[in-house]
């Protein structure tokens, strides 16, 4: 689910059987990392739920485990991903298991982690031409800059081509973040302006290096 649905390992381990609709190939994440304000009480926040889709092949694999846990007599109160006795699976176990599997496959285990599968999922969507805003929603990111960093780790070429698009057509003066601060905007706006300027500088430097 980390690789084919972009879930965080903690999100996958908190899923319950009722959160999966294998007939339609959808998963409802109710305990994501992102939070939002509770309506009517601005002092409280709750987890922002989101829905993702999985391929028919992934749904078939998930259905096999669903049938297996039913045969073992594991009831709905147990998490979807659980031990053979219906107990919880720890994130540390997932990380160590993935390293053991990587070593068995002849892959450097220090380079393998569950969160890396999530990065690969985002980069594959980018290569297929999925808009960055859609990838942001699927991964559950609050800021699109986080999504850009995810994709850039695995597919930097796609990020650079995206950054050369209409977004970077905006002409920003030097020290634009100072002007934004003078106008009374907050830290978030100043960070966005700085990030946009840095992204433009990165794209221009990569283009100049190719021309040498």
From first to last of the 212 residues of the chain, give the pLDDT tens digit: 999 899 999 999 999 999 999 999 999 998 656 555 555 666 655 557 889 999 899 999 999 999 999 999 999 889 999 999 999 999 999 999 999 999 999 999 998 999 989 988 988 888 888 888 899 999 988 888 888 887 776 555 655 565 555 444 444 444 444 443 433 444 554 455 455 555 555 555 555 555 54
Is there a domain that residue 81 lies in? yes
| Structural domain that includes position 25 | 1-89
How far apart are the C-alpha atoms of 161 and 203, rounded to whole Å?
Answer: 8
Residues with Cβ within 8 Å of 132's Cβ and at least 6 positions away in sequence, in order, are 126, 144, 147, 148, 151, 162
Is there a domain that residue 182 lies in? no
Q: Are strands 35-38 and 26-29 parallel, antiparallel or unpaired?
A: unpaired
Is there a domain that residue 66 lies in? yes
Structural domains of the chain, count: 1
Identify which of 116, 203, 117 has the alpha carbon closest to the alpha carbon of residue 157.
203
Is there a domain that residue 135 lies in? no
Identify which of 151, 123, 145 has the alpha carbon closest to the alpha carbon of residue 194.
145
Is there a domain that residue 193 lies in? no
Is there a domain that residue 80 lies in? yes
Is there a domain that residue 200 lies in? no
- pTM score, whole prediction: 0.65
């Amino acid at each position: 689910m980390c690789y084919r649905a972009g879930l965080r390992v903690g999100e996958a381990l908190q899923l319950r059987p009722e959160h999966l609709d294998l007939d339609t190939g959808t998963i409802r994440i109710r305990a994501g990392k992102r939070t939002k304000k509770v309506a009517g009480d601005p002092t409280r926040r709750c987890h922002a739920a989101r829905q993702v889709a999985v391929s028919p092949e992934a749904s078939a694999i998930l259905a096999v485990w669903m049938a297996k846990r039913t045969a073992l007599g594991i009831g709905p109160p147990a998490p979807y991903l659980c031990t053979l006795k219906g107990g919880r699976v720890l994130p540390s176990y997932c990380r160590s298991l993935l390293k053991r599997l990587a070593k068995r496959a002849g892959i450097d285990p220090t380079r393998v982690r569950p969160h890396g599968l999530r990065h690969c999922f985002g980069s594959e969507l980018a290569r297929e031409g999925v808009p960055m805003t859609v990838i942001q929603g699927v991964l559950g990111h609050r800021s699109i800059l986080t999504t850009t960093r995810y994709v850039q780790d695995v597919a930097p070429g796609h990020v650079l081509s995206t950054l050369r698009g209409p977004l970077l057509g905006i002409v920003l003066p030097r020290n634009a973040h100072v002007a934004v601060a003078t106008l009374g905007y907050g830290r978030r706006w100043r960070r966005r302006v700085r990030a946009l300027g840095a992204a433009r500088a990165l794209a221009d430097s990569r283009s100049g290096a190719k021309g040498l």
